[in-house]
Amino acid sequence: GIVLIAFCSFSCGYRGYVRWFRPKNDIMEVIKVKEEIDRADNPAKKYLLVKNLQNDLVTISNAIVKDVIPSNNIDYDFCVVVDIPYPKGNVECYLYSKNLYEKEDVVTIARLKKGKSIIDAVGEFSRFFTLLDDAFVKIELVNTTIDIRGEK
């Protein structure tokens, strides 16, 4: 136990160490919470539901990269976009990636191919947002670790 903590504190930095102990939610659970937020008429309940999501890590498995775009988030230069199919419409996830050394993971992002790369991702929930398009909901994840599984 102590060896693991010492290893993590030296090699992973604070963020990597803390991530070991944070609860994880699958992206589908996050979408269900979004639907609960949409149904709630009490703003305090909506606030608490979002706040609870911000304490957890969100996992995405076997997602195909839709695009790599310039970032709208001041802390990052690039953003990876993936679509998650959902019965009510596509859910677009905007992934802002950092590596274990708390630097933007440009090396991994540069290897991604639009429409071909299949990835797994684990990131911190940041927010829901909407734009005037056909996506059911958009979700922003920050400090995301991206693993390339292969190509389709």
Q: Which value, in Å, is the radius of gyration of the alpha carbons in the chain? A: 16
- CA 138/CA 34 separation, integer angstroms: 10
Average pLDDT value for residue range 35-59:
93
38 vs 99, which has greater pLDDT?
Answer: 38
Indicate the pLDDT class of residue 10, thresholds 50, 70 and 90.
very low
The model's pLDDT over 50-72, given as tens digits with 9 standing for 90+, comes to: 999 998 899 999 999 999 999 98
Q: How confident is the model at residue 101 (pLDDT cuts 50, 70, 90)?
A: low
Bridge partner residues of 139 (DSSP): 93, 128
Please give the Cα distance from 46 to 13 (Å, whole number).
33
Tokens of 90: 């596509």
Q: Is the pLDDT of residue 131 over 90?
A: no
